[in-house]
Structure 1
Amino acid sequence: MPSILIADRDANERIGIGWLITSCAIPYDQAYAAATMAEVIECMESHRPDVLCLELDMIGRGEWETLKLLVEQYRPLVLVMTAEATFERAMQGIELNARDLWLKPQTPETIRRVLTRYCQERNDGKMVGCEAQGKAGGVDPVSYLELFFPKQKSSRPYPLLLAQLEDSNRHPELLRFLEAYPFREPPILLPLSDAIVGIFSVEDSDPLPHLQQVGKRLLRDWEATFDDPLSLVMYHSDTPLEDLNQTYIDASQALHIRFFKGYRQVSVVRNRIAWTMIDPFLSPSEQRSWIDMLHDGNKEELKQWMYRQFFYKEEPYPEPGLLRIRLTSILAQVRRYMKAHGLDHGKVEEGYHRVFETILYSPILYRIVQELLLFIYSLIDSVHHQKEEARVDLIELAIRYIEGRYTDPDLRLEDVARHVDRSPAYFSTLLSKRQGISFRQLLNNLRMKEAQRLLLETSLSVQEVAMRTGFVNPNYFSKIFKEKTGTTPRLLRNQKKV
């Protein structure tokens, strides 16, 4: 019977795998355990286990070459485990000629099934790991090595499934779902950091219709249990003599279709994606249009422009990277608008950087467009509010100027408008809108208020009061005074005496 070495820093993992071997009667003659690389090396040299179940995360920098030499010398069947679904970990497994890669945590059923298969294959001298799975399912032996490195041309193309969750941290859960899924012909599953690759056998001359049905059923069953948005690509190339590495490169391009369609979709792709090439930068006329739309503050016009430019409903789609550049070109015009109105600081500046990050990294186009539009709307509102405040400040400045000079009989509307740097017509309209009265009415109100004070608090003559409040003609002063107060200056003076 073969022997197995379980190497893991976590004592619970070592004990749990050992318990499974014993309780499920997996026929290993001896199960060894190691918690450190030093113990792994000692056990490998002393007992030469037939199967090595190894946690990749426990290998130190200076221990890697020693481990590779031991594996090469004693040639155990290697199973690697990791909690990090990264390309680096996958490459380490390839270097060790690992037959399988587990992403922690794994279900006891998966562990039992794989260790049983390893034990039987070691006894029988058959192929192991992904190679055995490939033959059983009708697929030629494949591994990460064929996926990432070119090799000799194959006699037929590889149909692929690429599964990708919006939250890549949930991929171990997706992998367990796929491993347990009742495929008619189970694919070889190769988990990566950004997706899970499934490699199918080829029986039909055109397998895509069948794969499309598989994808739809798979998506439906996933969504019946899980809330995480899933995107599936079913890829098949008609091109003959294509190796797995090139097929994977072409298929991975198809993952970017979610940029236009979003998640919760099955994309069926035949052959390499043919992206449409576009000029990613705004033309001079488009830049002028954007400047005009921003300064006009027409939100509906901005929205319709963005929808026409970026809401694609059918193929061929533009290359996603070029669209991201075009969106940053639009954001550059928004930046000019911010600077023109002094809004390139504080929370607005923070919002600008968030939108920039969204354009660069958000996986879905319509989310980018919505975030950009919402940011532009908030900018337009800020500028509108800023202008309203500026108008209020302008009127306050004008009133203070009038209060300091209302005794000047030559004070005119033109003088006040010039002081606030506006045209007389614009200032007159703005004053009427804000205060509800004309310039002349405002001026006379101030003069009458002061005249009443002088008449009641001083012994100045009516003529002197008129002069001090900006009236050259005492008769005109008396006329205006009666219109405003309902009495004459002399009667008001006499009331004081009474």
Structure 2
Amino acid sequence: MPSIMIADRDPNERTGMGWLVSSCAIPYKKVLSAGTMAEVFQLMESQTLDVICLELDMIGKGQWERLKLLVEQYKPTVLVTTAEATFERAMQGIELNARDLWIKPQTPEYIRRVLTRCCQERSRRNQLNQEESGAPGVVREVSYQDLFFPRPLQGSTYALMLAQLEDPKRHPELLRFFEDYPFRDKPILLPTSDVIVGVFSVEDPEASALLQQTAKRLLMDWETTGDSPLFLVMYDSQELEQSLYEKYKEASEALSIRFFKGYRQLWVVENQINWATIDPFLTPSEQRLWVDMLHGGDPEELKQWMYKHFSYKEEPFPEPGLLRIRLTSILAQVRRYMKSHGLEQGELEQEYHQVFETILYSPILYRIVVELLLFIQALMDLVQNQRDEVRPDVIEQAIRYMERRYSDSDLRLEDVARHVDRSPAYFSTLFTQKQGVTFRQLLTMLRVKEASRLLMETSLSVGEIAQQTGFVNANYFSKIFKEKTGTTPRLFRNRKKR
């Protein structure tokens, strides 16, 4: 039977752990304890220790390298405990090839299960070592290091199951569910801060189909016992040369599929996820369309546009981060709509920031779209109800007018001032104060921005682009374009083609 050392600065912790081992009849033949690192080193060098339960907080700076050498030399099963739930402590556990990391306080039932499992695993390993004494190729046990470092594993092909709850605080409950679940072949469970990893040994091709069936059944069984939605990724690549580190990296990326599919799903992947490339920003024409839709006051038109552009049913999916940027680009147009009607204050301002937070952090795309549409609907209703009371912002009206008319080469400041019912002199001063640039500078910026898009996305000639963007002629367009971008239109287009 294996032996265990309990190392902790707190004598009550050591006594309690020892009592737990003896009272629960966990079959360790010898239970030793240590209160200092000096005692730890002495016991490791003088005793045969199969399992070490070690408090990380007791390790001094000058003692770390010696401890790692002893762990590497004697190869005990290491369990680490800490009161600090930090990335640094987790990395220390990984460096020691720890079997598990306990954040104090931990429940006695969980400690009992882990210690029992470690005892059984060490017993089997000792038996194998005795049976295969002197024989090469003994397969070592999978650990956290295999997930986070590219180390070779010989003798088996592995499949990974990644389980993630919408409420990560419920992961200890999910872990207990997995530990008690009647798997045909029990996986090695390696919980991390945001996901529970199950490592399955796959000996034949038929096992893959069985694993998928098991995962589907597990998902349904969890739904009957838990109310926190679960998302599962099954990664089952048959590449023998692929390390667990590579599989875990690709499986972790596949977790992002829940952004499109939602929870209560099983997603099976066999290769790396290939995200589709999209432009995350609204084009000038899309910006103008959004301005028109918002001021048009038709929520159904907005809803159909959103559903058309943000409904993804199958691969390849766009990278979720790019979609979040695109949604914030839309929210920027909504912000302008709020400002033009004097609505950037009070509860609406708080709701705007809540929608912004939802776009950045909500795990499900559909929820983001719904929250954004509900917010826009509320704004439109308020504008409709208070149309006579709320005075639109003059400069925002002027910019909207310029965005619609910049292609007119005869557009002048006087025309825009007349549109917003202000004198040219007053309008010019107010415009510069609010925008930080002059009317002419902003008009040129709008024209150059649209010209840049046309150069990249169309085959129109330079002369045609100059005409469509409000420049007097091609020569003047080329001169202004070079002043603003540092290059000529033709060089700009050629550079984008490379």
Residue 65 of structure 1 deviates from its aligned partner by: 4.3
Q: Which moved more, 1:364-373 or 1:70-79?
A: 70-79
Are 2:323 and 1:351 aligned? no
Match of 1:293 in 2: 293
Match of 1:107 in 2: 110
Partner residue of 1:69 out of 58, 66, 71: 66
When residues 154 and 7 of structure 1 are mapped into structure 2, their CA distance, relative to the original with a 3 A threshold, is closer
Question: If the length of structure 2 is used for normalisation, what is the TM-score?
Answer: 0.68
Residue 238 of structure 1 deviates from its aligned partner by: 4.3
Match of 2:332 in 1: 332
Match of 2:374 in 1: 374
CA distance in 2, matches of 1:107, 1:360: 35
When residues 176 and 5 of structure 1 are mapped into structure 2, their CA distance, relative to the original with a 3 A threshold, is same
Residue 43 of structure 1 deviates from its aligned partner by: 2.5
Residue identity in the other structure for 1:237: S
Residue pair 1:85, 1:193 contacting (<8 A) in 2 also = no
Percentage identity across aligned positions? 60
Residue pair 2:156, 2:201 contacting (<8 A) in 1 also = no
CA distance in 2, matches of 1:305, 1:97: 52
- Per-residue CA distance 1:32-52 (angstroms, 9 max, x = gap): 445xxxx23143145446232
Match of 2:361 in 1: 361
- 1:170-181 correspondence runs (5 A): 170-181=170-181
- 1:185-224 correspondence runs (5 A): 185-205=185-205, 207-224=207-224
CA distance in 1, matches of 2:62, 2:77: 18
Residue pair 1:293, 1:301 contacting (<8 A) in 2 also = yes
Residue identity in the other structure for 2:116: R
When residues 354 and 185 of structure 1 are mapped into structure 2, their CA distance, relative to the original with a 3 A threshold, is same
Match of 2:433 in 1: none
Give the secondary-structure state (helix, strand or coil) at the position aligned to 1:313: coil
Give the secondary-structure state (helix, strand or coil) at the position aligned to 1:164: strand
Greater C-alpha radius of gyration: 1
When residues 358 and 83 of structure 1 are mapped into structure 2, their CA distance, relative to the original with a 3 A threshold, is farther
- 1:43-442 correspondence runs (5 A): 43-48=39-44, 50=49, 51-56=51-56, 58-59=57-58, 63-70=60-67, 72-73=69-70, 75=74, 76-82=76-82, 87-102=87-102, 104-105=106-107, 106-107=109-110, 109-117=112-120, 120=123, 126=129, 141-152=141-152, 158-205=158-205, 207-390=207-390
Q: Which moved more, 1:190-199 or 1:200-209?
A: 200-209
Residue identity in the other structure for 1:43: E
CA distance in 1, matches of 2:96, 2:168: 26
Residue identity in the other structure for 1:120: S
Give the secondary-structure state (helix, strand or coil) at the position aligned to 2:241: coil
When residues 313 and 142 of structure 1 are mapped into structure 2, their CA distance, relative to the original with a 3 A threshold, is same
When residues 239 and 215 of structure 1 are mapped into structure 2, their CA distance, relative to the original with a 3 A threshold, is same
Q: Which moved more, 1:367-376 or 1:268-277?
A: 268-277
Residue pair 1:68, 1:96 contacting (<8 A) in 2 also = no
Residue pair 2:147, 2:248 contacting (<8 A) in 1 also = yes
Residue pair 1:291, 1:337 contacting (<8 A) in 2 also = yes
- 1:472-483 correspondence runs (5 A): none
Where does the alignment leave 5 or more consecutive residues of structure 1 unmatched?
A: 128-134, 392-420, 422-498
Residue pair 1:154, 1:241 contacting (<8 A) in 2 also = no
- Per-residue CA distance 1:162-201 (angstroms, 9 max, x = gap): 0001111221221222122111111121111111111111
Give the secondary-structure state (helix, strand or coil) at the position aligned to 2:272: coil
Match of 2:21 in 1: 21
- Per-residue CA distance 1:15-64 (angstroms, 9 max, x = gap): 44322321244454543445xxxx231431454462321233x347xx25
Residue pair 1:90, 1:192 contacting (<8 A) in 2 also = no
CA distance in 1, matches of 2:330, 2:31: 63
Match of 1:412 in 2: none
Residue 315 of structure 1 deviates from its aligned partner by: 2.5
Residue pair 1:154, 1:242 contacting (<8 A) in 2 also = no
Where does the alignment leave 5 or more consecutive residues of structure 2 unmatched?
A: 131-137, 392-420, 422-498
Give the secondary-structure state (helix, strand or coil) at the position aligned to 1:159: strand
CA distance in 1, matches of 2:61, 2:182: 38
CA distance in 2, matches of 1:158, 1:268: 14
Residue pair 2:77, 2:118 contacting (<8 A) in 1 also = no
- Per-residue CA distance 1:124-147 (angstroms, 9 max, x = gap): 5849xxxxxxx9xxx863222221
Residue 390 of structure 1 deviates from its aligned partner by: 5.0
Residue identity in the other structure for 1:324: R
RMSD: 3.1
CA distance in 2, matches of 1:18, 1:97: 23
When residues 16 and 153 of structure 1 are mapped into structure 2, their CA distance, relative to the original with a 3 A threshold, is closer
- Per-residue CA distance 1:340-392 (angstroms, 9 max, x = gap): 1122233222222111111111111011111111111121122223314359x
Are 2:36 and 1:40 aligned? yes
When residues 9 and 335 of structure 1 are mapped into structure 2, their CA distance, relative to the original with a 3 A threshold, is farther
Residue identity in the other structure for 1:322: L
- Per-residue CA distance 1:425-468 (angstroms, 9 max, x = gap): xxxxxxxxxxxxxxxxxxxxxxxxxxxxxxxxxxxxxxxxxxxx
CA distance in 2, matches of 1:29, 1:210: 38
Residue pair 1:150, 1:243 contacting (<8 A) in 2 also = yes
CA distance in 1, matches of 2:339, 2:96: 57
CA distance in 2, matches of 1:361, 1:150: 30
Residue 72 of structure 1 deviates from its aligned partner by: 2.6
When residues 153 and 27 of structure 1 are mapped into structure 2, their CA distance, relative to the original with a 3 A threshold, is closer
Residue 70 of structure 1 deviates from its aligned partner by: 3.4
CA distance in 2, matches of 1:216, 1:297: 45
CA distance in 2, matches of 1:153, 1:346: 59
Give the secondary-structure state (helix, strand or coil) at the position aligned to 2:79: strand
Give the secondary-structure state (helix, strand or coil) at the position aligned to 1:389: coil
